Chains A and B, each alone.
Chain A
Amino acid sequence: MSKKLPRRDVVIVGFGWTGAIMAEQLTAEGLDVVALERGVWRDTSTDYAVTNAQDEVRYRYRDELFEVLSRESLTFRNNTSQDALPMRMLGSFLPGTNVGGSGVHWNGQTWRFLPSDFQARTHNEERYGPLPEDMTVQDWGITYDELEPYYTQFEDICGIAGKAGNLNGEIQEGGNPFEGRRSSEYPNPPMEMVLAPKLFAKAASELGHNPFPGPSANMSQPYTNPLGVQLGPCTYCGFCEKYACGNYSKATAATTILPVLMRRDNFELRTQAMVLRVLKTGDGRMADGVEYITPEGEVYHQPADIVILAAYITHNVHLMLVSDIGEPYDPRSGEGVVGKNYAYQVTSGVSVFFDKDVHINPYVGAGALGMVIDEFNGDNFDHTGLGFIGGGYIATWQTNGRPMETHRVPEGTPKFGAGWKQAVRDNYNHSLGIGTHGAVMSYRGNYLDLDPTYKDAYGRPLMRMTFDFGDNEMKMSNFLTDRAVEIARAMNGREIRVARRTRPYSIVPYQSTHNTGGTIMGDNPRDSVINKYQQSWDLPNLFLTGAGAFPQNAGYNPTGTVGALAYHTANAIRTQYLRSPGPLVQA
């Protein structure tokens, strides 16, 4: 029996990047907003001091910033012929918990998707003919041009360091010539590069590519954002992804938004408030708020006029499924939408080993310190005859020299023992990595639903993930890897080592926290969960933020697009929904 609390204008579930964005935007509009976070309060000065943060055991390998699976996890299988088993430990992806969410421990690689990415089906079919029958790729129902101002808004809040390649249609020297039209330059200049990305850029240039500095949420100089919040210059400590920044140098909710938001009297944050489900009104036509449980086991009903699900994508999808909102997707019939088009990222790598007189000093790094080429992303190249669509970027990011996580050894090194130890010693400081970062298309058989066997600590069924890479991804990733090998060879090191992505997809090795889909957006309720304003087609006062909206994943890191979509949604609520609450797009 839950206790009913006083009604609020807005309740937000999950207080990470998009929860903070929505709260800031809607409190600025004068709304009374309460955010519910399953984790605890965390802030830079008290929890992430520069003297404590650089600890591989504590943070990367004992998961201090990541979600706690003993409370809720998911089950996984590669295809419907297997029995799904629980993800007992984290591996392939690392969702966060606590205030700030996964945004606390991201690298800060902050991209815009290509204009053609938003028309993935239309664009590719026009150019290359019909897509394979089992490929359920869709247009987004929103265009790059519609999102452009909101990309800018998010980049300005974050203080992204970069170099524009396309300013109002004019191609700029030194930027990404393939990017969509930008209305303004990045708010900060690019980061100063260390040796490894310079070597990559030199080799890529020699091959005729156009390397440019990767857009970075690590500050290249002191920065004051439009909310008046200050960030300090990045110190290249090499502890970004999987770590919190102790130095106010990485854009996160805590370093860009919370100092302003937390002071507003019309905002309230409740931590350790675990939302169990979204409640519907008696007629089933509106969300009536949410139900949450405290660590003491008290269950509350928080009613609100607007409900925003801003949890990590796996939890947003799970909440939709356990709350019985919308029709769950059925891969046999292709009917239903909730859980449809789960996708991910396909990555691979090439290591380059140098002689001992070249000191790479990998620990002088930052999460988004890198040089990139975009020649083989999206539809930036002619795919005729290649047998796949989409692509990805190729880059050398010098993110870290953390010795447990990053000790490259050449081909033929023994697994362990004296030879392994010698190889680690000989190569740690004399090697670098080139990464490929590829798109994953959506397929009829890749989806999320509820598991029939396993339950979470609250008695709810775990979500079940069914996923494998498709032929398109394997061909595309191999193509990207071949291009990376060419660049690696052009670096003229001693030797290289190639790590291609293999099938089946494994949930064990870390790949990326770039899970997408399941609550996809589109232009009609038959094949999407939300409209372009991330508004539920079923319950018009319910909005969902995050990468669950992506109908398939592009060849870029998702956070830039997640942030832009959140600002776009906030603007629609402020300027349209509040005047006339109801569907913002007519079905």
Chain B
Amino acid sequence: MHLTRRALLTGASLIALSSTALARTYIGGVPWEPEAANPPQVFDPSARFFTSGERDFVTAAVDRLIPEDEFASASQAGVVTFLENQLSGAYGRGDIYYMHAPFSRGEPSQGYQERAPAILYRQAIADIAARLQADKNKTFQELSEEEQDQFLLDLSNGDVELEHVDAKTFFDTFWQDTQLGFFGDPVHGGNRDMVSWRMVGFPGARYDYRPYIDHNGRELNFEPISVAGAISQGGKS
């Protein structure tokens, strides 16, 4: 039940006390307990959201968005694994987003108006397959690279009519998530071996650059490091 102030003041230099109600009341000190760090959650390599057909589309599409060159493509860098993790978790469910009805499209300036990202992806991928089947009698993977790029560009401009979802909203979400998998810390499943960081020259989760403040435009050549603690092995991109 409720705690009086007097009861809480007794004996404590303070404290996150054990019962849930007590743990939320703080008096008389800065709460601290040992081994209470809040480290990142490491991705689950076995996490699955996509069906095998969905995964084929996603793999083909992310590799047109970020294709292979001297550096890995999106899928080679683990972006599909990243997406599987994201969409099967809190992000996919939209746990922290406002997801109450009624839903309505509105103006672009009013932002995302679709259901939770997992629903958006699943529906958009099905709608895209149906659209391509109707228009070209092909899957996305069966299109030429040029046709795939054109289709993605049309999606990005909202020039593709999808049955249930807004094409541009899906593209914007998919493209942002793809980049996030590519550039984000490898602890989340993408950016394998910190490939994107080595590509651009970002040192990752270092935290003290004081010796380099006066770099004056010279190249610094750090090996990147992840919040998971791993240092890049260099080697093949």
* Assembled-state Cα–Cα distance A418/B64 (Å): 8
Q: Given A263-B29, A453-B102, are A237 and B8 also a contact pair (CB < 8 Å)?
A: no
**At the interface with chain A, which of B45-53, B125-133, B134-142, B210-218?**
B210-218
A51 within 8 Å of B (CB atoms): yes
Q: Given A195-B217, A404-B179, are A55 and B205 also a contact pair (CB < 8 Å)?
A: yes
- For A407, list chain B residues within 8 Å (CB): 183, 200
A57 touches B217 (CB 8 A): no
- For B212, list chain A residues within 8 Å (CB): 236, 361, 364
Number of interface residues of A (CB under 8 A): 98
- Contacts from A to B (Cβ < 8 Å): 3, 5-6, 32, 40-41, 43, 45-58, 61-63, 68-70, 73, 76-78, 82-89, 91, 192-195, 233, 235-239, 246-247, 258-259, 262-265, 267-273, 294, 296, 300, 357-361, 363-364, 401-404, 407, 415-418, 421-422, 424-425, 428-429, 453-455, 504-508
B99 touches A70 (CB 8 A): yes
- For A193, list chain B residues within 8 Å (CB): 213
Q: Given A236-B210, A270-B25, A416-B175, are A428 and B31 also a contact pair (CB < 8 Å)?
A: no
- Contacts from B to A (Cβ < 8 Å): 2, 4-5, 8-9, 14, 16, 20-21, 24-33, 36-40, 64-67, 69, 71, 90-91, 94-100, 102, 104, 106-113, 149, 152-153, 156, 175-176, 179-180, 183-185, 187-188, 196-197, 199-210, 212-220, 227, 229
B149 touches A52 (CB 8 A): no
- For A422, list chain B residues within 8 Å (CB): 69
* Assembled-state Cα–Cα distance A296/B100 (Å): 21
Min distance, Cβ B6 to any Cβ of chain A, angstroms: 9
* Assembled-state Cα–Cα distance A90/B208 (Å): 30
Q: Given A50-B207, A262-B29, are A421 and B66 also a contact pair (CB < 8 Å)?
A: yes
* Assembled-state Cα–Cα distance A505/B203 (Å): 35
B200 touches A268 (CB 8 A): no
A56 touches B184 (CB 8 A): yes
- For A416, list chain B residues within 8 Å (CB): 64-66, 152, 156, 175
A85 touches B29 (CB 8 A): no
- For B2, list chain A residues within 8 Å (CB): 3, 5, 300
Sample of 6 further A-B pairs with CB below 8 A, known A61-B176, A238-B209: A46-B36, A57-B184, A194-B213, A271-B25, A361-B220, A404-B179
- For A62, list chain B residues within 8 Å (CB): 90-91, 96
A70 touches B95 (CB 8 A): yes
Q: Given A70-B98, A85-B113, are A236 and B227 also a contact pair (CB < 8 Å)?
A: no
B97 touches A89 (CB 8 A): yes
A237 touches B208 (CB 8 A): yes
- For B180, list chain A residues within 8 Å (CB): 56-57, 61, 404
A52 touches B24 (CB 8 A): no
Q: Given A3-B2, A5-B2, A246-B207, are A87 and B111 also a contact pair (CB < 8 Å)?
A: yes
* Assembled-state Cα–Cα distance A271/B31 (Å): 12
Min distance, Cβ A206 to any Cβ of chain B, angstroms: 18
- For A69, list chain B residues within 8 Å (CB): 96-98
Min distance, Cβ A545 to any Cβ of chain B, angstroms: 21
- For B99, list chain A residues within 8 Å (CB): 70, 88
B25 touches A454 (CB 8 A): no
- For A78, list chain B residues within 8 Å (CB): 107, 109
- For B205, list chain A residues within 8 Å (CB): 51, 54-55
* Assembled-state Cα–Cα distance A401/B215 (Å): 15
B213 touches A263 (CB 8 A): no
B149 touches A417 (CB 8 A): yes
- For B111, list chain A residues within 8 Å (CB): 76, 85, 87-89, 91, 506-508
Q: 27 A-B pairs, CB-CB below 8 angstroms? A: A5-B2, A6-B5, A46-B36, A54-B205, A54-B207, A57-B184, A57-B188, A61-B176, A62-B90, A70-B95, A87-B111, A89-B111, A235-B209, A235-B210, A236-B208, A246-B207, A262-B30, A263-B30, A273-B24, A294-B21, A359-B217, A363-B202, A404-B180, A407-B200, A416-B65, A425-B71, A429-B201
A271 touches B29 (CB 8 A): no
Q: Which residue of B lies closest to A454 (CB)?
A: B100
Min distance, Cβ B104 to any Cβ of chain A, angstroms: 6
- For B40, list chain A residues within 8 Å (CB): 52, 55, 58
Q: Given A428-B201, A429-B200, are A56 and B185 also a contact pair (CB < 8 Å)?
A: yes
* Assembled-state Cα–Cα distance A237/B225 (Å): 13
* Assembled-state Cα–Cα distance A180/B41 (Å): 48
A404 touches B183 (CB 8 A): yes
Min distance, Cβ A465 to any Cβ of chain B, angstroms: 10
B215 touches A428 (CB 8 A): no
* Assembled-state Cα–Cα distance A431/B100 (Å): 42
Q: Which residue of B lies closest to A49 (CB)?
A: B37
Q: Which residue of B lies closest to A56 (CB)?
A: B184
* Assembled-state Cα–Cα distance A91/B112 (Å): 10
* Assembled-state Cα–Cα distance A364/B29 (Å): 36
B183 touches A403 (CB 8 A): yes
* Assembled-state Cα–Cα distance A192/B102 (Å): 52
B65 touches A359 (CB 8 A): no
Min distance, Cβ A39 to any Cβ of chain B, angstroms: 11
A364 touches B213 (CB 8 A): yes
